[in-house]
Structure 1
Amino acid sequence: MKIVVQVRLYPDAVQEAALSATLKLCNDGANLASGEAFRRRIHAKRELQRLTYGRLKDLGLSAQPAILVARKVAGAYASLAGRVRAGHLGKPGTRRRVQAESKPIHFRPDAAQPFDDRCLSWQLADRTVSIWSVGGRLTRVVFGCSPQQYATLAAHRRGESDLVRRDGKWFLYATCDIGDAEVKEPDGFLGVDLGIANIATLNDGTRHCGKGLNRVRYRNQRLRTKLQRIGTRSAKRLLKLRRRKEARFAADTNHCIAKRIVTEAERTGRGIALEDLTGIRDRVRLRRPQRVTLHTWAFHQLGRLIAYKAARAGTAVVYIDPAYTSQGCSTCGHVAKANRPSQSTFRCASCGFAEHADVNAARNIAARGVAGWAAASLPNAA
């Protein structure tokens, strides 16, 4: 399993100028390679490298950075093709898809640039790195990280690291390859119902309420609308300062919830059953006031964090079909819209069973998780 460790760089003035020039040159080269890839419809790594290597070298890049720039461009086009196949840019002929496919991919002057071990070396004992730049090798660039991040870097760092400049600060995103923990045979499953009113609800009745998170989002949305309406320089400056604050708050909340869920599953020896919510934004139709809530809800991030933390703990995770989990009775199995008289209430029209709607849905998810795990284990048993 691969994870990314983010460390902060603390370059001095000379080093910072060299890093800025390096990022700009690398992204100038990426735009050059992107233009050639678009014109000639060549997106494979090796072919694009052969096509652009000489011109990238003439631009001022050394051999290995030139190769990494070509690979970055090829990866960007592969990512674009994947988004098109998945339908994330709409159907053929839609405005968004036409715009994406009708011009070369553009790289910002400070877009992230990958470095491998030929261009970047870590001196973990000194907490410094040595990195290639257009002005020569930069040595003893200081970095800072937590003790846990340091231990992960020392034990598991492998492969490339990305140089990133964000809000005037410098970071390295280091790839760490952590061996997969052996998945333990689960003793039942912990069903997790992801929602908006309650971010996550477990089949044992535990609810992680989304009221506080949604209140922060609504407040940020109102402030964002107000500042955009004002449109002054100071308002735009404040918008820029606040642009990542909400995302950091939501990510921290999701991390905490995911950790609690995985810890509970690990403590009780159970697996985790999650709904497969792929494409939910395209399937669900909501009134205009509800759309912002759905489209700013980081449910995909929460599910991804649960899966990643479970993999590190050796906890089994299964994805189930979410159809009718909120309308089906977890006691008798009766499915009907009438079973949900309100958002938070479930009352079975057949057997009379009553429960909080999200808890009932989580019980259905847990039951489907048990069935899904048994079905997946049958071929192995045979």
Structure 2
Amino acid sequence: MKLIVNLKLQPTPEQARILRQTLELANKACNAISEQAWGTQTFRQYNLHKLVYHSIRDTFDLSAQVVVRLIAKVADAYKLDTKRERIFRLHGSIAYDDRILSCKRDDRVSIWTVEGRQAIPFVCGEYQRKLLPFRKGETDLIYRKGSFYLNAVCDVDEPLLDDAQDVIGVDFGIVNLATDSDGEVFTGAKVDETRRRYAHRRRNLQRKLTRSAKRKLKRLSGKQSRFQRDTNHVISKRLVLKAKDTTRAIAVENLKGIRERVTVRRSQRARHHNWAFAQLRNFLEYKTRLYGVRLYAVDPRHSSRECSRCGYTDKANRQSQDKFLCQSCGHCANADFNAALNLRARAVSISQTSTSVDKAA
């Protein structure tokens, strides 16, 4: 299982200058490679290597392995789009491998630069430090807001899946981001408040046509994205650790088509379309694999209309966004909690005859 570990470099002012120059020279070389690739319509890495390797080494005075990595970067960019010439930002990220970067035990990295190898200290969390021995493959050097970071790929073994004794059903909602079959609710109140604040600021900035307003809009989008990501990480980790500690599996709904399938009131549409449902589900997916917890993706159809007590299904059972009242047996419950119980029951029924879904469609 591949995980990304983020390290923040702490270079001296002189080392920071060298790193910037390294990025600038590398990306100038990428643009030169891209120009030749576009001019000759040569996009495959092998063919591109034969075309530009020697000329790029001679022109930019770069080491052999650095040129190999830059050619790979350009070829990867053209895999995404061959309809226009690819232009690389001056301080865009570049990839290193073990031949031009290594991690030391004293929290330093030895990294190739235009002025030779540099030993640069880094900081990271204890969890990230434990993963570093599993570093394998590429490590990206990133320059963002005046700071340098390394994103290292770590390949860790997945633990064996636990033999689950029960299942936790998890329903994703609009008002509440998630509700589980234990009755624990992950409210969307703070999320909604933040969304409204960002929406208000976004509307004000969109009325302006200045470059400054556009830059602020971009920063605002980044802040909202990071807030969503952090919230989804917190929710998914809480659910997975609960399942791990109680020897249970997790059941979630198959999210395919959730935006089209779910009908929401006009007042809730912005909230509905702004939240990263798939991201939350993806976080649950990889964390369950990381902790050895089984994950089931079940058919969510009518889970919000079916009575978790008697099984009677009717559209009229769903009284409102948060209220469920069975028209047959009179069972009354929170609608999201009722749906979570139904998801749990469906996972329990299929667990007898099928294996857990490590990656649902």
Amino acid across the alignment from 1:130: S
**Shift of the alpha carbon at 1:177?**
1.5
Q: 1:192 touches 1:201 (CA, 8 Å); kept in 2?
A: yes
Q: For residue 209 of structure 1, report the CA deviation from its aligned partner.
A: 0.4
Q: 1:269 matched to which residue of 2?
A: 247
Shift of 1:44: 4.2
- Judging changes above 3 Å, is the alpha-carbon distance between structure 1 residues 326 and 75 closer, same or farther for their aligned structure 2 residues? farther
**Letter matched to residue 375 of structure 1:** T
- CA distance in structure 1 between the partners assigned to 2:33 and 2:253 by the alignment: 41
Q: Report the secondary structure of 2:153's partner residue.
A: strand
Indicate if the aligned counterparts of 1:34 and 1:104 stay in contact, CA closer than 8 A: yes
Query: Distance in 1 between the 2:38 and 2:268 partners?
Result: 39
Q: Which residue of 2 aligns with 1:122?
A: 103
Q: Is the 8 A contact 1:23 1:109 kept in 2?
A: yes
Deviates more, 1:107-116 or 1:18-27: 18-27
| TM superposition shift of 1:181 | 0.7
**Residue identity opposite 2:111 in structure 1:** I
Residues 370 and 142 from structure 1, CA distance in 2 versus in 1: closer, same or farther, beyond 3 angstroms?
A: same
Residue 319, structure 1, aligned to residue 336, structure 2: no
Q: CA deviation at 1:371?
A: 3.3
Distance (whole Å) between structure 1 residues aligned to residue 87 and residue 238 of structure 2: 40
2:29 is matched with 29
Structure-2 separation of matches of 1:33 and 1:338 = 63
Once the two structures are superposed, residues 258-307 of structure 1 have per-residue CA deviations (whole angstroms, 9 ceiling, x without a partner) of 12111211122110112221343466676776443233212222222222
Distance 1:309 1:28, change over 3 A: same
Question: Which residue of structure 1 aligns with residue 70 of structure 2?
Answer: 69
Query: Does the CA contact (< 8 Å) of 1:15 and 1:138 recur in 2?
Result: no
SS in 1 for 2:115: coil
Residues 221, 142 of structure 1: CA spacing in aligned structure 2 closer, same or farther, 3 A cutoff? same
Point out where structure 1 has 5 or more consecutive residues left out of the alignment: 81-99
Equivalent-residue separation in structure 2 for 1:275 and 1:45 (angstroms)? 40
Contact kept? 1:192, 1:365, Cα under 8 Å: yes
Deviations 1:349-375 (A, max 9, x none): 333332211111111211222234333
Q: Bigger CA drift: 333-342 or 314-323? A: 333-342
Structure 1 residues 325 and 4: alpha-carbon distance in aligned structure 2, compared to 1, 3 A threshold: same
Q: How do residues 177-188 of structure 1 correspond to structure 2 at under 5 angstroms?
A: 177-188=155-166
Relative distance call for 1:117 and 1:163 in structure 2 (3 A) is: same
Does the aligned pair in 1 maintain the 2:174–2:268 contact within 8 Å? Answer: no
1:216 aligned residue (187, 194, 201)? 194
2:141 is equivalent to residue 140 of structure 1: no
Quote the Cα distance in structure 1 between the aligned partners of 2:120 and 2:212: 34
For 1:139, the aligned partner's letter is Q
Greater mean alpha carbon deviation, residues 207-216 or residues 46-55: 46-55
1:163 counterpart residue number: 141
In the aligned structure 2, how far is the partner of 1:140 from the partner of 1:208? 44
Q: Percent identity of the aligned residues? A: 40
CA contact (8 A) 1:8 1:170 kept: yes
CA distance in 1, matches of 2:47, 2:355: 42
Total equivalences in the alignment: 355
Q: Is the Cα–Cα contact under 8 Å of residues 161 and 294 in structure 2 kept in the other structure?
A: yes
Q: How does 1:184-195 map to 2 (within 5 A)?
A: 184-195=162-173
Aligned mate of 1:107, from 66, 88, 92: 88
Q: Do the aligned residues in 2 keep the contact of 1:130 with 1:137 (CA within 8 Å)?
A: no
The Cα RMSD (Å) is 2.8
From 375, 378, 382, the equivalent of 2:353 is 375
Separation (CA, whole Å) in 2 of partners of 1:49 and 1:282? 45
Whether the aligned pair in 2 keeps the contact of 1:160 and 1:175 (CA below 8 Å) is yes
Counterpart amino acid of residue 113 in structure 1:
I
Give the deviation of 1:234 after TM superposition: 6.2
> Aligned match of 2:129 in 150, 157, 168?
150
Deviates more, 1:272-281 or 1:337-346: 272-281
Matched residues in 2 for 1:180 and 1:46: separation? 33
- Give the match for residue 84 of structure 1: none
Amino acid at match of 1:116: D
Tell me if 1:343 matches 2:344.
Answer: no
Are residues 374 and 50 of structure 1, via their aligned partners in 2, closer, same or farther at CA, if it must alter by over 3 Å?
farther
> Bigger shift: 32-41 or 369-378?
32-41
* Deviates further, 222-231 or 256-265: 222-231
